[in-house]
Amino acid sequence: MDPVVAAAVADAHRTEWGRVLAAAARLTGDLDTAEECAQDAYADALASWSMYGVPDRPGAWLTTVARRRAMDIIRRRDTLRDKLPLIAGPDDVAGGPDTASEDEAFPDDRLRLIFICCHPTLAPDARVALTLRLLCGLTTGEVASAFLTSEPTMAARLTRAKKKIAATRIPYRVPGPGELGERLATVLDVVHLVFTTGHTAPDGQALQRRDLAERALDLARMLRLLLPDEPAVAGLLALILLTDARRHTRTDQAGRLLRLAEQDRARWDHGEISEGLALAREALRRRPYSRYPLMATIAATHATAPAPGAPDWAQILALYDELIAIWPSPIVALNRAIAIGEANGPTAGLAALDALATEPQLAGYHYLPAARAEYLRRLDRHDEARLAYDEALLLAGNNTEHRFLATRRAQLPYAT
Amino acid sequence: MADYVVFIWDDEQAWERADPGIVEQTMAAHKEFITRHAAALRGGHRLHTSDVSTSIRHTVDGGVTVSDGAFSETKEVIGGYYLIEAADLDEALRIAADVPAPFGGVELRPVMPTS
């Protein structure tokens, strides 16, 4: 096969899959058939592009073919009078802005698609799986490996979710202004979860799962393109960019984890940082602040620290105070406790961490004992620090983080 | 358009212990719900308490066993239901969220269309 064509199809798969599928879904009214139409279009592309060359607008080409295939199926379905489960179409429901572009042959229905995938009545893990499968075009096997489950389990989860979409008639439309904020928050949480899973893999040899981090960045950019006036979207994209900008400096050449203070800031991605800083500023233009604009501003404070590892901790703590007021989650409380320690000294930090000791959601989360170990070390309470590192080592699933904690523990001096 | 059933699950003991004022208030809230959503309502009833329920299970040998009581031993039981018609799940959710259920909650299920 022509490598140029294969590369073009692979590239179009990555950048256009969601759009092709979304356009087909508008016609077919069910997601399974839409997936088939999209798959057929990519198969046709391999054959056709090898013969006639890669078209100028591969996405438009693929969408047109997928829509034609969808029309064929609808015609056949009409003659057979099939009773297929349908998703509630955009034409038989009221309200919601229409996101189709003027170019009817190449509509952009990806927003409708992501709002179906992330509907609040679906289980959270199903939302993530559907988004990766339908918007990003990951295979069921790839989605399964991203979330450390078996392929049959993931296939069953996807089938069940699609059945619920059809049976309960989750509408294929963008929520109206009254509910957009709340519904968008669920979508952003899914994209953020994909990013954090890729940025620091919960398990395994590698620290990062770049494939997932890049998919999350693609999704955030797509949302920004389609919802340019939403501060929450600007905030999430800023947060991802400012965090992702450090991807090359998080480990040394031997694969050892480096803390922020030890990273070579010249090797941060400065293009991503300046884009992230501009978006973070924009996200703060509208009050009240939501979760992601605040988190992006915290990331921006780290990125603009005057000296390596020495950001304005007082400002970071103030931002965490605002964040916890609108989002009282144990993970935010843990990060805020660390900010207290950095801003007000290790004794204050340790007290704030110990106040979270009985939080059930943090049981089993290695960052809590790891942070305790760090402050105990600074207070020269080495024996207690060793115990805290032991606890963190038991809980850390990622090998790179595990090695980092083991090294820190080994560096503690023994009492003479 | 599609039909959905809203099952009202509640704690019967909480009902029994409840202040008569609250019971009255809830009944008034149901009346208000019925008026407000008259256009979407296709039916609905309050049920007798589950102590008068009878459960019938089919056995492997083709017979049935009949037993006294609710189908499953849970604190919450179905105390009533509404049958509603809505354009899609979002509209059905908005209606279901208005169903008064001070001693529990509601469950929304699409009706499978008969063909």
A136 vs A139: CA distance, rounded Å? 9
Average pLDDT for chain A: 90
Considering only CB atoms, A171 lies closest to which of B4, B90, B110, namely B90
A77 vs A28: CA distance, rounded Å? 10
Residue of B nearest to A179 (CA): B90
Q: If DSSP states are collapsed to H, E and C, what string results for chain A?
A: CCHHHHHHHHHHHHHHHHHHHHHHHHHHCCHHHHHHHHHHHHHHHHHHHHHHCCCCCHHHHHHHHHHHHHHHHHHHHHHHCCCCCCCCCCCCCCCCCCCCCCCCCCCCCHHHHHHHHCCCCCCHHHHHHHHHHHHCCCCHHHHHHHCCCCHHHHHHHHHHHHHHHHHHCCCCCCCCHHHHHHHHHHHHHHHHHHHHHHHCCCCECCCCCHHHHHHHHHHHHHHHHHCCCCHHHHHHHHHHHHHHCCCCCCECCCCCECCHHHCCHHHCCHHHHHHHHHHHHHHCCCCCCCHHHHHHHHHHHHHCCCECCECCHHHHHHHHHHHHHHCCCHHHHHHHHHHHHHHHCHHHHHHHHHCCCCCHHHCCCCHHHHHHHHHHHHCCCHHHHHHHHHHHHHHCCEHHHHHHHHHHHHCCCCCC
Tell which of A81, A169, A172, A180 to mutate to test the B interface (max B CBs under 10 Å). Answer: A169
Say if the Cβ atoms of B89 and A83 lie within 8 Å: no
Residue of A nearest to B88 (CA): A169
Average pLDDT for chain B: 93
| Residues of A whose CB is below 8 A from B88 | 88, 93, 169-171
Task: Report pLDDT for B51.
Answer: 86
Exposure string for A364-375, b = 16+ CB within 10 A, e = fewer: ebbbbbbbbbbb
pLDDT: is A100 or A361 the higher one?
A: A361
Integer distance in angstroms from the first to the last C-alpha of chain B? 15
Q: Does residue B10 contact residue B101 with C-beta atoms inside 8 Å?
A: yes
The mean per-residue pLDDT over the stretch A32-61 comes to: 95
Q: Predicted confidence band at A99 (pLDDT cuts at 50, 70, 90)?
A: very low
The mean per-residue pLDDT over the stretch A331-349 comes to: 96
- Residues 6 or more apart in contact with residue A335 via CB below 8 angstroms: A320
Task: Report pLDDT for A137.
Answer: 93
| Residues of A whose CB is below 8 A from B115 | 83
ipTM score of complex: 0.80
Chain B contact for A169 (CB, 8 A cutoff): yes
The mean per-residue pLDDT over the stretch A282-289 comes to: 93
| Residues of A whose CB is below 8 A from B90 | 170-171, 175, 179
Whether the predicted model's global pTM rises above the 0.90 cut? no
pLDDT above 90: residue A104:
no
Q: What is the pLDDT of residues A215-269, one digit of tens each?
A: 999 999 999 999 999 999 999 999 999 999 999 999 888 888 888 889 999 999 9
Q: Predicted confidence band at A94 (pLDDT cuts at 50, 70, 90)?
A: very low
Chain B contact for A94 (CB, 8 A cutoff): yes
Q: What is the pLDDT of residues A9-46, one digit of tens each?
A: 999 999 999 999 999 999 998 899 999 999 999 999 99
